[in-house]
Structure 1
Amino acid sequence: MSRPAPYPVRLADEITRQLGQLADHLSHLPPPQAAQVIARVLAPDTGVLGGVTHLVATGSVFAKDQAERGALPPEVWLALGRASNELHNIALDLDEHQDSLHLVGTAPTATGAKPPAPAPLVARRHR
């Protein structure tokens, strides 16, 4: 008989499942609700992205300790450290847009009002 997975492993599996459900729901939500969900996911201190960033940073500390003991190759620690730094930078970039997401998420839906004009999509990067 196989042993049940430890609680942290089951928790990671459950979080992954729920994130998939959230993504499925997001694709069917009206724009104001979708903006609210995205804003909460991207909230710097309380959102999913901040939580994942913290989790990866914690994993990097673990990997550093294990690499120093010879249990993991140093490349694992370096990759987790890079991932943590990149996620942090991405979170900073996205934090600039929290106000816009909140505005869309709280804007009253006016019937018969002229819809906003579409904006041309231009890729800009601030770093």
Structure 2
Amino acid sequence: MSHPVPYPIGLADEIARQLHLLAEHVAVLPPAQATQVIAHIINPDDGLLDRVIGLVSVSSTFAKVQAKGGALPAEVWLALGRAAMDLDAVGSDLDEHRATLLRFGAQSGTSAAKPPAPAPLVVRRHR
């Protein structure tokens, strides 16, 4: 007889399934809608990426407590902490472009003017 899956693991599996479904939708949405969805995902206040960063951060805090108690190697805690910081940095980088995505989504949905000129795909980062 199989053991029932604990609720948090089932929840994680369902969220992963939903994320896959969302990715499939974004892949086929019209450009205006896709950019609006992407802008919503990267919203730094309550977007999906913000929630993932929070989950990894909580996981890092949990691992820290467990590592201090000797139950987990410190490397696990450090890796989760580094992942949380890296994701937060990525979120900050993406937030710089959120307004552009929202503006593009709003313009594309309301006007049938000439298509935008292609942009170069190599961009120099400035910090």
TM-score, normalized by the shorter chain, greater than 0.5: yes
* Secondary structure, aligned partner of 1:2: coil
Instruction: Kindly provide the amino acid, as one letter, of the partner of residue 110 in structure 1.
Output: S
Q: Per-residue deviation at 1:43? A: 0.6
1:91 equivalent to 2:105? Answer no
1:26 equivalent to 2:21? Answer no
Instruction: Kindly provide the amino acid, as one letter, of the partner of residue 69 in structure 1.
Output: G
Task: Flag structure 1 segments of 5+ consecutive residues without an equivalent.
Answer: none
Q: Per-residue deviation at 1:109? A: 4.5
Deviates more, 1:66-75 or 1:2-11: 2-11
Instruction: Kindly provide the amino acid, as one letter, of the partner of residue 96 in structure 2.
Output: E
1:100 equivalent to 2:100? Answer yes
Distance 1:94 1:86 in 2: 12
TM-score (norm 1): 0.93
* Secondary structure, aligned partner of 1:79: helix
Please name the residue that 1:115 is paired with.
Answer: 115
Please name the residue that 2:80 is paired with.
Answer: 80
Cα shift readout 1:86-117 (whole Å, capped 9, x = no counterpart):
00000011111111110111113433x32111
Q: Per-residue deviation at 1:69? A: 1.0
Please name the residue that 2:67 is paired with.
Answer: 67
Instruction: Kindly provide the amino acid, as one letter, of the partner of residue 55 in structure 1.
Output: L
Q: Per-residue deviation at 1:123? A: 3.2
Distance 1:105 1:29 in 2: 12
Q: Percent identity?
A: 60
Distance 1:126 1:42 in 2: 20
Distance 1:74 1:102 in 2: 41
TM-score (norm 2): 0.93
* Secondary structure, aligned partner of 1:27: helix
Distance 2:126 2:55 in 1: 25
Please name the residue that 2:11 is paired with.
Answer: 11
Task: Flag structure 2 segments of 5+ consecutive residues without an equivalent.
Answer: none
